[in-house]
A and B are shown apart, each in its own frame.
Chain A
Amino acid sequence: MTAFMQFLKDLLYDSGKAFGLIYDGGHKIWAGFNLPPLTLDIIFLLIAAACAAAFIAINALFIIWFERKISARMQLRRGPNRVGIFGIFQTVADTIKLLIKEDITPKAVDKLAFFLGPLLVMTSTFMVFLVMPFGKGLIAADLNIGVIYILAVTGLTVLGLLCAGWGSNNKYSLIGGMRSAAQIVSYEIPNVLVMLTIVLLSGSMKLGDIIAAQPTVGYVWMQPVAFIIFLIASNAEINRGPFDLPEAESELVSGFITEYSGMKFAFFFLAEYTNLFIAGALGAVLFLGGWTGPVLPPFMWFMIKSYFVVFLLMWIRWTFPRIRVDHLMEFAWKVLIPIALLNLVVTAFVIKFH
């Protein structure tokens, strides 16, 4: 009995150990049936991927409700409050509605690119969860190139947006897609430089090592400038206000998603909100110490910190008016990148002479 309690405790506080037990036990039973061990490995891999998919779906349902509630409160409204208690099932109802809506494919579209758009955007978003450290040992694969992997995979989003914009064969979509590609690549640079600074401090690209290298208060106190740049750049990278030029309703209808409907539209929406969560989670991992914290299980700490950063991003979105496109692009290149480069060099000097 105590062994079982210990196992449950491990599952909460030291998931890596518990998963190791499950893995070894599974292999023992599997060997008893005389089956090749590789098949069991593949089953474990698929279970992990399925867990990530379930997490993305549930988390998106919650985060969309959260954003609607926050925005409502900031505008002195009530927000969704009909479906379920506090309207928490509103997004479930919306998803079911989108699932049974007609998926219109206009005649003029390039069919392949039109389908590749949501596919690439959603795939790249999904792939980031491979290296997301949800808790102690609660990580699909702690790649030793973690940070570069995240940058590489999120870079794929741009291709999806370009496919969607070009494939829609609609002028609004084209302009929206080009604008958002230009915006994402511009704001990716400050983000990369910020991550470079963090890697410089921790001496590793592995997200697990970055968390372990942080002091208890996190890197945010050592790198306040980097944290602010990170917030601005990730807000722009996920196309959210005040940088939501690509889908500026008043001029571009809704940018690259103008022609999409049904489930393809839903995937763009899902990717957008999952990217919001990823930005929050990266902020938590790189600056706030990830899953470390007293008393509560690591997973809870990870979610609390991530949602704290997500709340900051939402606060920014619902407070500032949309800025002009020329200001947006020049701000990235003429302000953020020089500051980020300077921050990098100063950090390098401080590390060497400290």
Chain B
Amino acid sequence: MEYGMLLAFLVFALIFVVGGVAANWLLMPHKPNATKNSTYECGVEPISDANIRYNIRFYVYALMYVVFAVEAVFLFPWAVVFKEIPGLMPLFEAVLFILILVLALAYAWKKGALKWD
């Protein structure tokens, strides 16, 4: 039932967007012309294609994100059972894990991966 609800929401979201765009399509005026359909570039003629190369730093940030996102995926189960497991083992293991991550963050920081220039 719960995951059926998920499916219902997904279907409804798609209908919501497609229906909105379709309603817009039915109600709107259709008067295209060459100037209107050209790419906007503050009034001047667009120069070449826009699918150009962009800065590598976006990629570096994305990589850092993947590291931390995976870390979060590992830590969520730990956080859920943390109170139930007696003793200090879960605490020290997680602290060790986070320390390794902090080392990685410090390394990236030192290397200048976090610098946006």
Contacts and interface: CB of A to CB of B under 8 A. Distances in A.
Contacts of B82: 200, 203, 348, 351
A265 to B, nearest CB: 10
A37 to B, nearest CB: 12
A50 interface: yes
A60 to B, nearest CB: 12
Interface residues of B, number: 72
Contact of A123 (B14, B88, B95): B14
A101 B50 contact: no
Contact of B12 (A53, A175, A326): A53
A293 interface: no
Contacts of A141: 1-3, 5-6
B117 A148 contact: no
Contacts of B3: 141
B52 A174 contact: yes
A267 B49 contact: no
A140 B14 contact: no
A203 B65 contact: no
Interface string A79-115: 0000000000000000000111111111110000001
A46 interface: yes
A107 B40 CA distance: 11
A166 interface: yes
Nearest to A334: B114
Interface in A207-248: none
Given A104-B37, A352-B88, A192 B52 contact: no
A77 to B, nearest CB: 28
B83 A203 contact: yes
Interface in A308-328: 325-326
A111 to B, nearest CB: 12
